[in-house]
């Protein structure tokens, strides 16, 4: 028996009580585009979701090639436009406002490709972290800022492992991140990170395991923190240099893989 297709799923509608302006325009995309025109702002082409069906999402592109998507979604419990903006795999700013005109100002600033400082001036409700500012300056600054954060005393981080890795120049030039207690390294500063550098896993009692990409994890042999860091660095091909801006996909394109 041929299975009959089920009823098509209807997109979520803007709540007319919370968002009468959006509901009147028919979608967030249409409302934002209309508001921009009314205020003499250039936001470029306003997009909805990837399939074009969402009525409660809008996206703005930037004239700056290093900036990616500026995404806006509607809050469900109260009137609020929720914003997250990314560039080269990095979440550069987040914020919220209940004012559609303020949202249009922020969208126009992003579309124009302004710096993060200029973006905050145009839209003070947007938050920009020191790490985001470091990413804007360049990958070496992002790497240094991330290491600085990890080397600050924190009861939830293994400082012995972190200091040992930071003392090795080749590892210090990579973008560090942790997952379930393990210290990992990326050859790019944006997410998704590269998955090809070996990782260090704490075993307890000041002993550590090293997991190489593509190999089964083993607790043997175990190492001191300094030995583990040296093993990771020695396993890296000589052509692997300091971390670069972008994601693992950008890295593969750059290396012709």
Q: How far apart are CA 190 and CA 234, in angstroms?
A: 24
What is the side-by-side strand order in the sheet with 175-179? Answer: 175-179, 182-186, 199-204, 207-211
Instruction: Say what the pTM is.
Output: 0.89
Per-residue pLDDT of the chain (257 residues; tens, 9 = 90+): 455 554 456 678 899 999 999 999 999 999 999 999 999 999 999 999 877 679 999 999 999 999 999 999 999 999 999 999 999 999 999 999 999 999 999 999 999 999 999 999 999 999 999 999 999 999 999 999 999 999 998 878 899 999 999 999 999 999 999 999 999 999 999 999 999 999 999 999 999 999 999 999 999 999 999 999 999 999 999 999 999 999 999 999 988 85
């Amino acid at each position: 028996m041929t299975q009959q297709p089920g009823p098509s799923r209807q997109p979520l509608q803007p709540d007319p009580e919370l968002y009468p302006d959006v509901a009147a325009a028919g979608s967030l995309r249409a409302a934002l585009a209309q508001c921009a025109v009314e205020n003499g702002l250039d936001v470029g082409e306003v997009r909805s979701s990837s399939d074009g069906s969402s009525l409660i999402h809008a996206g703005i592109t930037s004239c700056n090639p290093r900036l990616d998507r500026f995404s806006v979604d509607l809050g469900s419990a109260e009137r609020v436009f929720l914003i997250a903006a990314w560039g080269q795999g990095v979440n550069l700013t987040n914020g919220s406002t209940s004012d559609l005109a303020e949202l249009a100002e922020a969208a126009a600033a992003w579309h124009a490709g302004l710096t993060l400082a200029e973006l905050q001036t145009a839209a003070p409700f947007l938050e920009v972290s020191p790490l985001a500012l470091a990413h804007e300056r360049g990958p070496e600054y992002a790497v240094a800022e991330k290491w600085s954060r990890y080397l600050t005393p924190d009861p939830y981080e293994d400082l012995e492992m972190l200091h040992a890795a930071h003392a090795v120049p080749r590892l210090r030039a990579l973008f560090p991140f942790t997952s379930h207690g393990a210290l990992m390294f990326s050859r790019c500063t944006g997410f998704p990170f590269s998955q090809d550098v070996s990782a260090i896993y704490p075993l307890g009692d000041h002993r550590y395991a090293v997991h190489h990409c593509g190999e089964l994890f083993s607790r043997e042999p175990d190492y001191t923190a300094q030995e583990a860091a040296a093993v990771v660095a020695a396993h890296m091909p000589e052509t692997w240099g300091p971390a670069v801006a972008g994601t693992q996909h950008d890295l593969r394109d750059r290396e012709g893989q």
